[in-house]
Chains A and B, each alone.
Chain A
Amino acid sequence: MRTLAIWSIKGGVGKTAAAVNIGHAASLGGTRTLLWDLDPQGAASFYLRVPAQLEGGARVLVDHTTDLGWHARPTEFDNLSLLPADFSFRRLDLELDATKKPRKQIARRLEPLAPRFDLVIMDCPPSVSLVSEAVVRAADAVLVPVIPSTLSIRTLEQIRAFVAEQGHGRTELLPFLSMVDRRKAMHLELCESCLADATFLRTVIPSASVVERMGLTRAPVAATQPSQPVAVAFAALWQEIASKLRVSQ
């Protein structure tokens, strides 16, 4: 089982859209995928038509007597399950802090899922917290959406330092360009300079109204409009990630 965290300090960078669309792309290829919605806003759960409620709330995430897999819900897409968010996750930091080794909790909770899933994608809340520390530590790779703006690029440097520290050198950082508007000269300019950095994934996710419409369709883009460029881009992005994570396709 490989684990991928999708995280950014900044909000509004296309994080949840990436989590849902990449999870769907992976599942289409036969990768048994669990999307773990750790964000109390529950947007990923909403997109996949699962109520953002977890019986037992945030406590379940630190309770080692229950198997997280029991809470996984099937979605309408083959191979794609979802571990729903819960509004109580806003207190997840406190719950984690009350445990003995808070930074190891997420990794420990993931272990029993290995015989059931090929891939776990964690959609993390946009903040620097104990939760993000524990997630980075547990993940094989952290996928970071970067929109082409100076602020966003500056944030990436902070993230790089954070992942290096919390991931103990075992967690790979995979930044990718998100919500790119090719009509904007500045976007194109910044894209070019980002792609000069070899750590960036090569696939660029365009800004697209069909992604915004996911709130209405409540489905991954490829499920409703598979030929849209952004759907194709998410599939290509997943291929790149899969080869980095060595997931068979």
Chain B
Amino acid sequence: MQATLRLPKEWDLRSLRGIVGDDSDADRPRTVRFLYLDTFDWRIASSGGRLTEETTDGTRALRFIDGSGDPPHVLPLAGSVRFARELPESVLRARLESLVDIRALLAVGECRVERQSGRLRSPAGDTAVFLQLETATILDSSGRATGEPISTIEVLGLPGFEATFGSLVQRLRALAATSDDATSLMELAAAARGRRIGDYSSKLNLELDSAQTAESALRSILRTLLGTLRANVDGVIADHDTEFLHDFRVATRRTRAALAQLKGVLPADGLKVFQPEFRWLGSLTNPCRDLDVYLLEMDGFRALVGDSAAALAPLQEVIETERQLALGEVRAGLRTRRFQSLLDGWQAFLDDRAADHEPPPNASRPVRELASQKIRKAYRRMRRRGMSLGESPPLEDLHRLRIDGKKLRYLLEFFRSLYEETEIEPLVEQLKLLQDILGGINDVRVQQRRLLEFAHRRELAGRVETLLAMGRLAGALQQRQDRLREDLASVFPGFAGPEGRSRYNSLFGGGE
């Protein structure tokens, strides 16, 4: 039993006793500074939860409410927290880690709250209802108050005291200007910082229309991707977490894939200018991402080498140092005029519909027709390559198969809204599984190569234990790759065999 009501503006905390009667037992009011925390892509809010860092009387605590009606988790904090994994081992850490994974907890809103807690007792002295009255002033990113303060009262009734709860809520609702709390404080606080809950997602959520021309659909896909690029720039530079760079790179790759595969839709002379620039963006960010992946895998690597885990510490240091340098390159690149003019020029190109040139051959084709044709072609290419592979194909061939798979996956993701969800989703899922295996095989290939490079580093010269642990790691990675090869052999036939083929044919036509 829970209700949250917005109170009239003119009320202050002293009114509490007046509303709920003299039986209430109220604590003294406290001033609390609230920082709403969430990941850049709103993983906590979209799960229905709310995480705040609250400072009151000089003490700091993390408060998490999961939205299920369970009482909040409250964890005293010594300093601020950026990653869930930094918290002490606890139910709260497990909950947060499963929600936010490797994403950083960022401040998405702030307010200053006058809070008074109270409770109604039963005649026997038991707690019947918990009350919390809050008057919040929303602060913008520079800490200045914005708008009028907002007062809310939260009422939580305990089992067995339904009547007490009901009559209290009724009395509160009967008051003029009391309203149910429609817009949460968190939404308002986020808005004061120019954010909206759910305004960013790393998923490509495009709603295309079958009747659209290929040109208008492609422009809208590319604009969305440009939006993703722009959204992540600040986070990459600030290095909040590794996912900003990851999302930035995925948007770059998707852009490049769209341009490479959907030729003849946009004016070719313009593309000639931008394609090399997006390639530059890819190579600018490659080294940093490789090292990020290495560091993200480090826990797994330590587990692979068992009791030699501690000996990997010097390797980690080498990678961290190198990653810092690589990040420096990325930051410098993103601050160049070249990058700025790429974004601006690309935006102008996508917005410019001036038809002062011959329209490209595919521009006015219906998008679904073009999409189906391209998906068919990409599927056939990947299928053919996969089927031609022998018993234990060379890694280079598997790498090419992975690239084919990426192209197909991007096409499916761009155009999924044009097809029946129940039909296209299983294909996306199947391909994802296949790509995870191929990606895993490729990761091992890259990691083994890097391991050999690192082993020659001056910093590790003479560090026998570290080098031996790296040797063990290389061996363990080889075993992982062998297992992945077996997985591939069992998954690929479902994709390329008669059943897979007929699913692609029936959805995307063809069979010619």
Chain A residues within CB distance 8 Å of chain B:
1, 28-32, 49-51, 53, 55, 73-76, 78-79, 81, 115-118, 218, 248-249
Contact for A78 among B71, B95, B126, CB less than 8 A = B71
- B92: chain A residues at CB < 8 Å are 30, 32
Quick check: B72 and A218 within 8 Å, CB to CB? no
Flag if A249 contacts B88 (CB, 8 Å).
yes
**Of the candidates B71, B91, B127, B156, which one forms a contact with A50 in the assembled complex, judged by CB atoms under 8 Å apart?**
B127
Contacting A at CB under 8 A, from B157-201, are 158-160
Kindly list the 3 A-B residue pairs having the minimum CB-CB distance in the complex, ordered from nearest: A248-B88, A30-B75, A78-B74
- CB within 8 Å for A53 and B91 given contacts A30-B75, A78-B71, A79-B74: no
Which residues from B are CB-within-8-Å of A32?
A: 73, 90-92
Q: Which residues of A contact B74 (CB under 8 A)?
A: 30, 78-79
Q: Closest residue of chain A to B95, judged by CB?
A: A115
B121 at the interface (CB under 8 A from A): yes
> A117 contacts B126, CB within 8 Å?
no
A116 contacts which chain B residues (CB < 8 A)?
70, 91
A51 and B160 contact, Cβ closer than 8 Å, known pairs A30-B75, A81-B71: yes
B89: interface (CB < 8 Å): yes
- Determine whether B246 belongs to the interface, using a CB cutoff of 8 Å to chain A: no
- In the bound assembly, the distance between CA atoms of A79 and B92 in angstroms comes to 11
Given contacts A32-B90, A32-B92, A116-B91, contact A51 B126 (CB under 8 A): yes
- Is B127's CB under 8 angstroms from A49's CB? yes
- Chain B: residues with Cβ within 8 Å of the partner, total of 27
Minimum distance in angstroms from B61 CB to a CB of chain A: 8
CB distance from B76 to the nearest CB of A (A): 5
Residues of chain A contacted by B204 (CB below 8 angstroms): none
Please, which residues of chain B bring their CB within 8 A of the CB of A81? Answer: 71
Given A32-B92, A115-B94, 9 other A-B contacts at CB below 8 A? A30-B76, A30-B92, A50-B126, A74-B130, A74-B158, A79-B73, A248-B88, A248-B90, A249-B88
Contacts of A117 in B (CB 8 A): 91
Chain B residues contacting A49 (CB-CB under 8 Å) are: 121, 125-127
Q: How far is the CA of A74 from the CA of B72 in the complex (A)?
A: 10
B122 cross-chain contacts in A, Cβ below 8 A? 51
B266 CB, nearest partner CB in chain A, Å: 51
Q: Is the CB of A74 within 8 A of B119?
A: no
Closest to A71 in B: B159
Is there an interface contact between A30 and B88, defined as CB atoms closer than 8 Å? Answer: yes
Chain B 104-136 interface residues, beta-carbon cutoff 8 Å to A = 119, 121-122, 124-127, 130
Q: Are B75 and A218 in contact (CB under 8 A)?
A: no
Subset of 21 A-B contacts with CB under 8 Å: A30-B61, A30-B74, A30-B75, A30-B76, A30-B88, A31-B90, A32-B73, A32-B92, A50-B126, A50-B127, A51-B122, A73-B159, A76-B127, A76-B130, A79-B73, A79-B74, A81-B71, A115-B95, A117-B91, A118-B91, A248-B90
> Which A residues are in CB contact (< 8 Å) with B70?
116
Bound complex: CA A40 to CA B508 (Å) = 69
User: Quick one: which of B90, B95, B122, B156 has the most chain A CB within 10 A?
Assistant: B90
User: Which residue of the partner chain B has the closest CB to A45?
Assistant: B126
Q: How far is the CB of A51 from chain B (nearest CB, A)?
A: 5
Interface residues of B, Cβ cutoff 8 Å to A: 61, 70-76, 88-92, 94-95, 119, 121-122, 124-127, 130, 156, 158-160
Residues of A within 8 A of B130 (CB): 74, 76
A118 neighbours in B (Cβ, 8 Å):
90-91
Given known pairs A74-B158, A115-B94, A248-B89, the reply for A29 and B126 (CB within 8 Å) is: no
**Chain A: minimal CB distance from B367 (Å):** 46
Which of chain A's residues has its CB closest to B160's CB? A51
Within the complex, what minimum Cβ distance (angstroms) separates A188 from chain B?
A: 36
A50 to B125, CA, bound (A): 9
In the bound complex, CA of A21 to CA of B220 (Å): 62
Q: Do B160 and A53 have beta carbons less than 8 Å apart?
A: yes
B498 to chain A, nearest CB (A): 44
Nearest opposing residue in chain B for A70, CB measure? B159
* Chain B residue nearest in CB terms to A79: B74
Task: Report the Cα distance A116→B127, complex, angstroms.
Answer: 23
Which B residues are CB-close (under 8 A) to A76? 119, 127, 130
- Complex Cα distance, B72 from A28, in Å, reads 13
**Bound CA–CA A62/B73 (angstroms):** 28
Instruction: Using known A-B contacts A30-B88, A51-B124, determine if residue A73 contacts B158 with beta carbons closer than 8 Å.
Output: yes
- The CA of A116 and the CA of B71, in the complex, are separated in Å by 11
Report the Cα distance A75→B159, complex, angstroms: 12
- Residues in B neighbouring A79, C-beta threshold 8 A: 71, 73-74
B199 vs chain A, min Cβ distance (A)? 31
Contacts of B121 in A (CB 8 A): 49
Report the separation of the CA atoms of residues A115 and B70 in the bound assembly, to the nearest whole angstrom: 12
Residues of B within 8 A of A248 (CB): 88-90
Given A49-B125, A51-B126, A51-B160, the answer on whether A78 and B72 have CB atoms closer than 8 Å is yes
Chain B residues whose CB sits within 8 angstroms of the CB of A30 once the complex forms: 61, 73-76, 88, 90, 92
Chain B residues with CB under 8 Å of A73's CB are 158-159
Q: Report B164 CB to chain A, min CB distance, Å.
A: 13
Docked complex Cα distance between A76 and B95 (Å): 23
Which residues of chain B are near A249, meaning CB under 8 Å?
A: 88
Min CB gap A239→B, angstroms:
14
| Chain A residues within an 8 Å CB radius of B94 | 115
Contact status A29-B73, CB under 8 Å: no
Closest to A73 in B: B158
Q: How far is the CA of A248 from the CA of B93 in the complex (A)?
A: 11
Give the CA-CA distance A32 to B88 in the complex, in Å.
Answer: 12
Q: How far apart are the CA atoms of A175 and B156 in the complex, in Å?
A: 39
Count chain B CB atoms within 10 A of each CB in A49, A117, A248 and give the residue with the most: A49
Using Cβ atoms and an 8 Å threshold, which residues of chain A touch B126?
49-51
Contacts of B72 in A (CB 8 A): 78
* In the bound complex, CA of A53 to CA of B89 (Å): 33
Identify A218's interface contact among B88, B91, B125, CB under 8 A.
B125
CA distance in complex: A158, B236 (Å): 64
Task: Give CA–CA (A74, B92) in the complex, Å.
Answer: 17
Min Cβ gap A198→B in Å is 27
Closest CB-CB distance, A100 to chain B, in whole Å?
A: 30
C-alpha spacing A81/B71, complex, angstroms? 8
A116 to B95, CA, bound (A): 9
Most buried by A among B61, B122, B127, B130: B127
